[in-house]
Structure 1
Amino acid sequence: MNLIMKILCFVLLTVNIATIAILSWGKCGLSKCITRYLVSMAVTDLLVVFVDVIFDQIGDSYFPDSFLNITAICSLRGVLRYAASDSSVWLTVSFTFDRFITICCQKLKRKYCTEKTAAIVISTICVLSCVKNIPWYFQYEPYEIIDNIPWYCFRNSLEYYVSSMWSTFELLQYSITPFIPFLLILTLNALTVRHILAANRIRRALRNPKSSEEEDDPETEHRRKSIILLFSISSSFILLWVTHVIHSLLQRISTMSYYRIHVDSTTAEQIGDALRLLSCCTNTCIYAVTQTKFREELKNALKYPFNLISCLLMKHGTS
């Protein structure tokens, strides 16, 4: 699985850095509000890659005795891992809600869908995600103490298994991320699509009856692309999180005294983690497929090093 994580890490780093760079150029024809949301989603996804893949997966494998494995440090890494994951999920929800307001609530659009509001929402989500996950710092107890320094986070504390507070907190954790986001995304998407389809029916009825059925309608085409983009981002998020959520719930139930469920923790956990991490780069792939201007800017970015080398060679040849 190490090889898979290395490849996944490379892919995640590449696509998220490319997304941040291309969107920051502001040449994709997107509003500043949408750009802020998408850049923040890419940044939090990049943070997930660093904390969850580079530090946890790769770092622990190749540097098992580094300072990163001091109990206080690896406990802090746990908090950051959950906080980054929560931020990524809820920024996806906030993006979906912003698109819902833009398409369905024209009166509220001018007040809500602004760059300032987007900045406030993004900041609030990131701060609350950090605060909410502070209890994870106390999940582990030291595996061993060397020179009065507690090391490693291999072993959960006894309270984690027996305390009702931990069970309640973990239930709350999986309710807030990702069950409630699942429901919100599905509901918002359903309302958005219903509004778009109703608007399309009205538009077709108002158009010139003599016009050809096959005549292009830019507004209808724009709405169709909006549906594809919205559903692609939202559905990929849901599908890639399902395995991780089911495995985590079964693992928690299996620790309870009244229920014993056999969970293949190694295989299921690795597959769930890989799919969950893969969700950190799907937005870029979706944009590459659905957004023409983004695709053009990506091509220009890929061509830039070759064009630069070509220019340098031409200058060198003429000199």
Structure 2
Amino acid sequence: MAVTDLLVIITAVLLNRITGIYFPFSFMSVTPICSLRIALICGSIDCSAWLTVAFTFDRFVSICCQKLKMNYCTDKTARWIIGIVCTLSYLRNIFWYFIFVPVYIIDNVPWFCVIFYKSLAWAAYDLILVIFSPCLPFLVILLLNALTVRHIIMANRARRRLRNQISGDNQKDPEMEKRRKSIVLLFAISTSVIVLYILYFMTVVYVRIANVTYFADSDFSDSTFILEENAYMLQFLCSSVNPFIYAGTQNKFRDELKRGVLCPFSMIPKFSTSRVQERNTLIPYYVVIS
């Protein structure tokens, strides 16, 4: 999931936004490269969104479906899910490459790309892509998180009643503390998705209804253009926030991160010890030679 979010930043921010702003007439703006770049951007965004859905479903199964957990929550299943999601995401967006036409043709070289279609098939394809990403992932994440939180709350009530009947005290329960942290994590995920994607949803609907199109010489001070760009900025920010929310809150991830940061420092004493041992083994050798 972190890799796909990083691909979104590389394709959508570095190769598209920064290149388009600071190097507008580079080879990246030639129509075939521009079309390929947009197809990769859409595929990366789809892959990031649906892997987030897959991870949310994995947490839902591990918490709410104990019988299914033993067979589903395995490394083999995770590898298959990741491969299938990534493959379908890029295959579904490969048609973006054929939907664009050049804006200018200078010295027989096509520059930039703009959507141009008149058939209902392309319009239906565009609508299907909007539904599958990000509308459907957004709704599925909210639904799964709501069901998970509901299950945790009901399990906590039953566990509290059982503990009160057995012990009759109100001591802290480590298991309930862990579940409470899970609720906070799920609410953080849902809130971040809602806040960072709600403007994008509104913009996508408005742009398609109003049939807004921007060219290289468009007025970038237009309020609609500013609204759309802010929506994209928040969408890309969501790809940066998700890895920290999902991975940064996990104890094992934090332990591995600390271990990776401290690894170079822990190797210094071992390196010094090995150098001292090597020097001690070489001294008798030079004495014999002399």
2:136 counterpart residue number: 180
Distance 1:81 1:288, change over 3 A: closer
| Structure 1 residue 67, shift from structure 2 partner | 1.9
Cα distance in 1, alignment partners of residues 249 and 70 from structure 2 = 26
Cα distance in 1, alignment partners of residues 23 and 266 from structure 2 = 38
1:279 counterpart residue number: 238
| Structure 1 residue 101, shift from structure 2 partner | 0.8
Distance 1:220 1:310, change over 3 A: same
Per-residue CA deviations over 1:26-80 (Å, capped at 9, x if unaligned) read xxxxxxxxxxxxxxx1101111111100011111222222221221111011111
For the Cα contact (< 8 Å) 2:61–2:69, is it kept in 1? yes
For the Cα contact (< 8 Å) 2:35–2:97, is it kept in 1? yes
| SS of equivalent residue, structure 1 residue 64 | coil
Q: Quick check: 283-292 or 224-233, which moved more?
A: 283-292
1:112 counterpart residue number: 72
Cα distance in 1, alignment partners of residues 233 and 267 from structure 2 = 37
| Structure 1 residue 204, shift from structure 2 partner | 1.2
What residue identity is the alignment partner of 1:133? N
| SS of equivalent residue, structure 1 residue 207 | helix
Distance 1:133 1:201, change over 3 A: same
Cα distance in 1, alignment partners of residues 247 and 32 from structure 2 = 41
Instruction: Give percent identity, aligned residues only.
Output: 48
Q: Quick check: 65-74 or 97-106, which moved more?
A: 65-74
1:212 counterpart residue number: 169
2:159 counterpart residue number: 203
List aligned pairs for 1:79-158, cutoff 5 A.
Answer: 79-153=39-113, 155-157=114-116
1:69 counterpart residue number: 29
Unaligned runs of 5+ in 1: 1-40, 257-262
For the Cα contact (< 8 Å) 1:287–1:294, is it kept in 2? no
| SS of equivalent residue, structure 1 residue 150 | strand
| Structure 1 residue 304, shift from structure 2 partner | 6.2
Cα distance in 2, alignment partners of residues 288 and 167 from structure 1 = 38
Per-residue CA deviations over 1:187-240 (Å, capped at 9, x if unaligned) read 211211121111111111221544532x22111111111222233223312321
What residue identity is the alignment partner of 2:82? I
| SS of equivalent residue, structure 1 residue 145 | strand
| SS of equivalent residue, structure 1 residue 77 | helix
| SS of equivalent residue, structure 1 residue 279 | helix
Distance 1:221 1:302, change over 3 A: same
| Structure 1 residue 92, shift from structure 2 partner | 0.7
Number of aligned positions between the proteins: 265
Cα distance in 2, alignment partners of residues 287 and 50 from structure 1 = 20
Distance 1:309 1:117, change over 3 A: closer
What residue identity is the alignment partner of 2:42? Y
Distance 1:291 1:108, change over 3 A: closer
For the Cα contact (< 8 Å) 1:247–1:272, is it kept in 2? yes
List aligned pairs for 1:1-319, cutoff 5 A.
Answer: 41-153=1-113, 155-157=114-116, 159=117, 162-209=118-165, 210-213=167-170, 215-255=171-211, 264-286=223-245, 290-295=249-254, 297-298=256-257, 301=260, 307=265
What residue identity is the alignment partner of 1:54? L
Cα distance in 1, alignment partners of residues 247 and 47 from structure 2 = 23
Per-residue CA deviations over 1:101-149 (Å, capped at 9, x if unaligned) read 1111111111111111111111111111111112211232112334533
Per-residue CA deviations over 1:150-188 (Å, capped at 9, x if unaligned) read 2221x332x2xx432232222211211122112211221
Q: TM-score, normalised by structure 2?
A: 0.81
| Structure 1 residue 310, shift from structure 2 partner | 8.8
Q: TM-score, normalised by structure 1?
A: 0.74
For the Cα contact (< 8 Å) 1:140–1:156, is it kept in 2? yes
Cα distance in 1, alignment partners of residues 149 and 49 from structure 2 = 21
Cα distance in 2, alignment partners of residues 181 and 82 from structure 1 = 14
Q: Quick check: 133-142 or 243-252, which moved more?
A: 133-142
For the Cα contact (< 8 Å) 2:5–2:243, is it kept in 1? no
| SS of equivalent residue, structure 2 residue 205 | helix
| SS of equivalent residue, structure 1 residue 110 | helix
